[in-house]
Structure formats: C-alpha cells, structure tokens
Amino acid sequence: MPKHAMLELSEVTKEYRVGGQTVRALDGISLRIEQGEFTSIIGPSGSGKSTLLHLLGALDTPNSGSIRFQGNEIGTLDEDSQSEFRRKRVGFIFQFFNLLPTLSAWENVAIPKLLDGTGMRKAKPRALELLDQVGLSDRANHRPAELSGGQMQRVAVARALIMDPALILADEPTGNLDSKTGASILALLGEIAGAGNSVVMVTHDMGAVAYCDRVITLRDGRIGSNDSVERSVSA
C-alpha cells in the first residue's frame, strides 16, 4: 500500500442548517480511496452521496473531521486554495453534462485550460487529442445540440481530463443515458481509472457496480458497507 492514499477521510461530518433546523447529511465518514481505483458510491436518495462527492472535490467544507488528498488536508482550505485545488486536481462529470451550448465540442473540452490561462492555440491540440481518446474525433466542431446524450457525456469526460487531474468525480454520469450508452461511459471511466487516476462515481445504477473496484454504500449519512470487488466487466 502506498504511503498516502489518493483520498483519506477520517470521521467527517457535514451539517446543513435550514431555517431553524440542522440536517446531518454526513455522520462520521471514514474511508480510503487508492490511486487507480474506480469507486462507486451507492445508497438511497438523501443518504448523503452528493454531499460526500462535493467534499471530496473541495466544493464544500466539512463541519468536522479530516479529508486528506495525497496526504494533504483539503477540508480546511480557504476559498482560493479550494478553487485552485479543484482547477488543478479534480475533473468533474455531471448527470446533465453541463456543456456550454454555443461552443463546439473541442471548445467545451478546452475551457478549463483557457480559464487557467493557456492560449487557444495551445489548448486546441490537447482538446482534439482527448476527443480522439473518447472516440469523438469526427465530432470536434459539433455543438452540444448536434450530439447524442452519450456523445455529450464523452465530451464532458474529455473536458474533465484536460487538466490531467489525479481525481475524477462523477455524479450520476449515466443517469440521463440509456443503458447501452451508459455502459460505454462506464467502460470509459474504468479505462481512465486503469490509467492511474482515481474515479469516484455516485450512482443509482446497480449495473454500474460491475465496472468498479470498490463499492461504498451510504445510509443516513453513514457508511453501510465498503467492499473491494473484482471488476466483472473490464475495459
């Protein structure tokens, strides 16, 4: 086992205050995610899956407990450091793709680089390379409306990869896709994890588990089970 896990959580809690009430969304979460693992987080609606994913990506901070990324605490970063961490270390994939409708596929992929100060001319070749990697080299100039759901999600996967992040976080990436298209996205995420990234995915899709190396179930903000599994479908 390497000295530092990709992610190591210890006794993490997260509460939301709504009106006068406090909702405890995460209630003492401890877990370890290694480099190269494809992990799925499953559990009923409201069990804390999205909250956990947001904390892993420093989109939010815990009320207590520690979250270490490659040995460094990220749970207590200030907002600027959080945003730098997200930009450099994490790629996000969402259920509804979150592509910009007026931009072409390659421009959507290039956005994180452009926001990071890389010029268009330098960003474009890398964006095209990634589109090729996700099987979309012939769709680089299409806008999102001219793509299928599965193709849009492939663009989003390529965009998540362009900063070479160590960690890919996906919230219901197959939730808006038919099962065959969803399976091809899962295979792609499995390949990405196999190449040395860690991929953590929240999903309702029980079939997705077959693509994963670890399955964590949440229930009422606590870990119900955390099992290392053999992938039954490999990329």
* Residues at the contact surface with Mg ion, assessed by CB under 5 A: 50
Minimal distance, residue 202 CB to Mg ion, in Å: 6
Residue 13, Cα to own-chain centre: how many angstroms?
20
Torsion region of 234: left, alpha or beta (phi above 0 gives left; psi -120 to 50 gives alpha): beta
Q: What is the pairing mode between strands 222-228 and 214-219?
A: antiparallel
User: Closer CB to Mg ion, residue 50 or residue 133?
Assistant: 50
**In angstroms, what is the minimal distance from the CB of 6 to ligand ADP?**
21
- Nearest approach in angstroms of CB 167 to Mg ion is 18
In what side-by-side order are the strands of the sheet with 222-228? 90-93, 167-171, 198-202, 38-42, 214-219, 222-228
| Closer residue to ligand ADP in complex, CB, 109/223 | 223
- What count of Cα atoms within 13 Å lies in the side-chain half-sphere of residue 21? 4
Choose among Mg ion, ligand ADP, none what residue 47 binds, the Cβ cut-off being 5 to 8 Å by kind: ligand ADP
Among 228, 232, 233, which Cα is nearest to 39's? 228
- Give least dist CB 142 to ligand ADP, A: 31
Rounded to whole angstroms, the Cα distance separating 225 from 221 reads 12
45 binds, among ligand ADP, Mg ion, none (CB under 5 to 8 A by kind): ligand ADP
Residue with smaller CB distance to ligand ADP, 62 or 144: 62
CB of 215 to ligand ADP, least distance (A): 15
Decide whether 195 or 206 has the Cβ nearer to Mg ion. 206
Q: Residue 1 or residue 18: which is nearer to ligand ADP going by CB? A: 18
CB nearer ligand ADP, residue 47 or residue 197: 47
Q: Which does 137 bind (CB under 5 to 8 A by kind): Mg ion, ligand ADP, none?
A: none
Whether 184 and 211 have beta carbons less than 8 Å apart is answered as no
149 binds, among ligand ADP, Mg ion, none (CB under 5 to 8 A by kind): none
In angstroms, rounded to a whole number, what is the distance separating the alpha carbons of residues 111 and 100? 10
Q: Which residues bind ligand ADP (CB under 6 A)?
A: 16, 18, 23, 25, 43, 45-51
Nearest to 97 by CA among 47, 152, 147: 152
Residue 112 binding partner per list ligand ADP, Mg ion, none, with a CB distance cut-off of 5 to 8 Å that depends on partner kind? none
d(CA 170, CA 148): 19
